Amino acid sequence: MRRAQNGLVIVLIQQGEIRATGFLDDDELGGVYVHPGFQRKGLGTAIVKHLLLEAEKRSVKFIHLDSTPLAKPMYEKLKFDLVGPAVQMIGEEPLHYFKMEKYI
């Protein structure tokens, strides 16, 4: 709710069902998820591009995000730079992800 109040949350709905989401909160971009049945169709890229345009309108100069290994190539195509790998423990299981950033 905080992100919805302070930033921008996008929910893409097709045929009454959620297909993709994303948020922009100050200089953080995230929550870019695409329903597995609709991945690799450009929905994630469209969400990120829209959020980047909104960031520019809000005079944001720098964006950072955490990327899953699956999404990393998409962000690289959108010219995000890799800061480095990261790991967070979820109980006993490691969650591997990547810190990325972009100046806009």
Q: DSSP states of 14-43 as a string?
A: ETTEEEEEEEEETTEEEEEEE-GGGTTSSH
User: What are the pLDDT digits (tens) for 10-44?
Assistant: 999 999 999 999 999 999 999 999 999 999 999 99
Tell me if 43 sits within 8 A of 54, measured CB to CB.
no
Confidence of residue 3 (pLDDT cuts 50, 70, 90): low
Q: Which domain holds residue 15?
A: 2-103
Compute the average pLDDT of residues 54-79.
96
The CA distances from residue 100 to 5, 8, 91, in Å, are 24, 20, 24
User: What are the pLDDT digits (tens) for 79-95?
Assistant: 999 999 999 999 999 99
CATH number reported for the structural domain that contains residue 68 in this entry: 3.40.630.30
Instruction: Count up the domains in the chain and report the number.
Output: 1
Q: What is the pLDDT of residue 4?
A: 63
Strand order from edge to edge, sheet including 62-67: 8-14, 17-25, 28-34, 62-67, 93-103, 81-90
